[in-house]
Amino acid sequence: MTDERSSEVARGNGGEPETYPNPVVGVFDDVSPTPGSSKPDPILVTDLVRKTFGGIVAVDVEYLEIQRGAITALIGPNGAGKTTFFNLLTGFDKPNTAGVRLDGEEISEVASYRLAQRGMVRTFQLTKVLSRMTVIENMKLGATGQTGEGFWKALLPVWKNQEQEVEDRADALLKRFNLTHMRDEFAGTLSGGQRKLVEMARALMTEPSLVMLDEPMAGVNPALTQSLLGHVKGLRAEGRTVIFVEHDMDVVRDISDWVVVMAEGMIIAEGTPDDIAANPLVIDAYLGSHHDTDISDLDTVEIEQKVEEEFKEADEGLPGAHRSDIEAEGEIET
Ligand SMILES: Nc1ncnc2c1ncn2[C@@H]1O[C@H](COP(=O)(O)OP(=O)(O)OP(=O)(O)O)[C@@H](O)[C@H]1O
Ligand SMILES: [Mg+2]
């Protein structure tokens, strides 16, 4: 919220509380709480982003500006199009139409790993941490940007040339995320929450200016949630921009400077957390959705199962997801 000068968070399991300054206090004071409103210094601007799946219009966002250095929450009922919107912005899905500008440059045709190299990274609703690789190996994968198309091709040269530097950076991030003790464990042995932490840490390997988190808190136990919230505030304190998808309104109120609400593919509201909580359009959208809208209602076992399914998909679907392939010399086919 904009009237907060700083925020106190517990650090992990019983660690010292840490205060993160909020560099964007007051920035939204003159911003109109209406869809498509102008921001003082937008890092990301989207114009007519549309995606249909067969007859379904999954995303139909007219215009959106994301303020630099702020934490923006993207909320909306299940199926509203939040993940699809993330996919379109980050090069993981092809839009029907899209104008997307990052720092004033058109990026709508740019591949995800190139976007990562240009400072824009994202994490996934279901983690893409690879279970048959160790935590440190997963971290090193972040050095070239994102898992996904084109990623494996870009991997080897970076490893050959800068391996020590990459490893040092990975170790520093593992320390920051209290994961050093898991460094050499296979990622498949981690809890769902720890995998979320690894994925967030890995996203930071490229020193991104814009970090997009799709439900970073989902399926994470309360102690780890506090730690994750602290890390998100820490990103803002470092001057990074964060966009995150979240269902839990307490979390949204706690950490976001600005909230964008999607329903049926469109942006139906924007504003501060207080504006949004009082907006009847938002309340209608949630009540009319016939879905669970608060992640706390979800069974963590069910989420764990979904993550496991995703591991299988990631391991089977991405060539080179095995240690022997990563270590092999020569080109990796994608
Ligand atoms: N690959 C796909 N093929 C067909 N339909 C899809 C596909 N991906 C998403 N959709 C549809 O697009 C709509 C938006 O889905 P999306 O996953 O983006 O919603 P969401 O807001 O992220 O929901 P949730 O809160 O449940 O994660 C839904 O109707 C969904 O069924
Ligand atoms: Mg989603």
Catalytic positions: 215
Tens-place pLDDT, residues 108-136: 889 888 898 899 999 988 878 788 889 99
State the CATH number of the domain containing residue 259. 3.40.50.300
248 within domain boundaries: yes
332 within domain boundaries: no
307 within domain boundaries: yes
Is the torsion defined by CA of 282, 285, 288, 292 positive or negative? negative
**pLDDT at position 243, please?**
98
Domain that holds residue 105: 6-327
93 within domain boundaries: yes
1 within domain boundaries: no
CA distance 114 to 144: 9
Tens-place pLDDT, residues 217-231: 888 888 888 889 999
- Best substitution site from 82, 92, 125 to test ligand 1's pocket, by max atoms within 8 Å of Cβ? 82
Atom 31 in ligand 1: which residue has the minimum CA distance? Answer: 79
Number of independent structural domains in the chain: 1
CA distance 285 to 80: 10
Strands 210-214 and 120-122: parallel
- Ligand 1 neighbour 78 (Cβ under 6 A): yes
Q: How far is CA 12 from CA 171, 176, 316, in A?
A: 18, 10, 33
- Ligand 1 neighbour 94 (Cβ under 6 A): no
Q: Report the atom number in ligand 1 closest to the C-alpha of 54.
A: 4
- Ligand 1 neighbour 79 (Cβ under 6 A): yes
Atom 30 in ligand 1: which residue has the minimum CA distance? Answer: 79
Query: What is the CA(85)–ligand 2 centre distance, in A?
Result: 9
Q: Among 2, 17, 38, which residue's Cα sits nearest to residue 270?
A: 38
319 within domain boundaries: yes
**pLDDT at position 308, please?**
61
pTM recorded for the entire structure? 0.81
CA distance 16 to 178: 13
Which segments in the chain show pLDDT lower than 70?
A: 1-18, 144-162, 288-334
Measured torsion, CA atoms of residues 261, 267, 270, 273, in degrees rounded to the nearest 10 = 0
